[in-house]
Amino acid sequence: MTSPLGEMIRKQRELASLTMRQLSTMAGISNPYLSQIETGVREPSKAVLRQIAISLGIDPDDLQPKEDGDVPDVRAAIDADDGLTAAQRRALKEVYSAMIAATEAKRKK
């Protein structure tokens, strides 16, 4: 049982090359609690979500579930940014995809 929010936190943690223990310490929560958040067993409070986001170096609003319950999609955010050129959008999405692929390959080892 996983949740979109938990999955996003896990992916961001892995992209930051942090262990669950490291992130839980940084965020001031227990390791089992972070595990339960990532697996969707427990929903974090807004304060805990904020601490996790700050520890990951991302904007806390990026982890806030939207009204429909979905977490923001990185590629959609890139596409929606009017401050980027088409070439910049393409490059950002390629870098993001490469990072995701590297993380998946690392996980399979």
pTM: predicted TM-score of the whole model, two decimal places: 0.61
Contacts of 81 (CB under 8 A, 6+ apart): 89
**What is the arithmetic mean of pLDDT over 67-92?**
76
Q: Is the pLDDT of residue 68 over 90?
A: no
The per-residue pLDDT for 35 is 96
Lowest mean pLDDT among 27-31, 43-47, 55-59: 55-59
For 2-41, how does the pLDDT look when each residue is reduced to its tens digit (9 = 90+)? Answer: 678 888 898 888 888 899 999 999 999 999 999 999 999 9
